[in-house]
Amino acid sequence: MIKNSFIFLEKISNQGEKKLWQQGITNWQEFLNSDKIKGISSLRKKYYCRKLQEVQQALLEENYSYFRGKLPQMEMWRLYNYCKDECCYLDVEIDEQGRVILIGISDYYNTNFFLHGVNLSKKLIELELSKYKAVITFNGSSFDLPKLKKMGLNINQIHIDLKQLSINLGLTSGLKEIERRLELKRPEHLYGNPVNLWRSFHASGDREYLDLLIEYNREDVENLKQIMEYVYKKMKEKLYKEINSL
């Protein structure tokens, strides 16, 4: 999908991208092979060609961070097919005061937890994140990443936020309801409030509440992969339909 994209080029808006598609220029190679492009001067075309060659090299080197600050955040999903084997899914839980108590980081096959009072440290979390080239969240732009930033963590990977993408596809509810609509199963006892589980653990010292909190977070973070796969498929279909209808 990223090779059909031009919106990471300076002064190319979503409308500018559509105008290129309308001219039959639907991928980078077609742009590079075109002698003239309507609406783009020969001087600017040469500049864009250099940038496209630059980005092709970045993809070849799996340097997806090249797109940070260039590709709009809402369009980062277009890179998923390239980075899907090197991405992680992340979810943060907080207590009543808004303090981070648990972070789950998963590649779906393996999930690691960072728990307050045990191993919730900036150094360990950054070490875990360094294994990946993309971070995928649900509402992470507004919630999870600001919480990590407040802890002093640096997120250098590209970030794909599934919340707004889901809304664009008509999935306007929260994560748990989206799971139900996509028929993703989670045990009924793991639909509770994680804040209450943490409070109960502290009040009673009963390890069962802590285990439930961890399993709750596991469901959150591991289900993100299947939601990401669904979102990518639907967004790809939507964009290809748009390209082919112009």
Distance separating alpha carbons of residues 235 and 80, to the nearest angstrom? 11
**Which CATH number is 81-234's, of 3.30.750.24, 2.60.40.10, 3.30.420.10, 1.20.58.1690?**
3.30.420.10
At 199 the pLDDT is: 83
Helix, strand, or coil (residue 112) = strand
The DSSP letter of residue 37 is B
At 196 the pLDDT is: 84
Give the rounded percent of residues in the chain with a pLDDT score beyond 70. 100
Confidence of residue 189 (pLDDT cuts 50, 70, 90): confident
Confidence of residue 84 (pLDDT cuts 50, 70, 90): very high
- The residues spanned by each domain of the chain are 2-61, 81-234
What b/e readout covers 193-211, taking b as 16+ CB neighbours within 10 angstroms? ebbebbebbeeeeeeebbe
Please, are residues 147 and 92 in contact by the beta-carbon 8 Å criterion?
yes
Higher pLDDT, 246 or 72: 72
At 203 the pLDDT is: 80
Average pLDDT over every residue of 40-45: 95
Average pLDDT over every residue of 53-72: 95
Query: Top-level CATH class of 2-61?
Result: mainly alpha
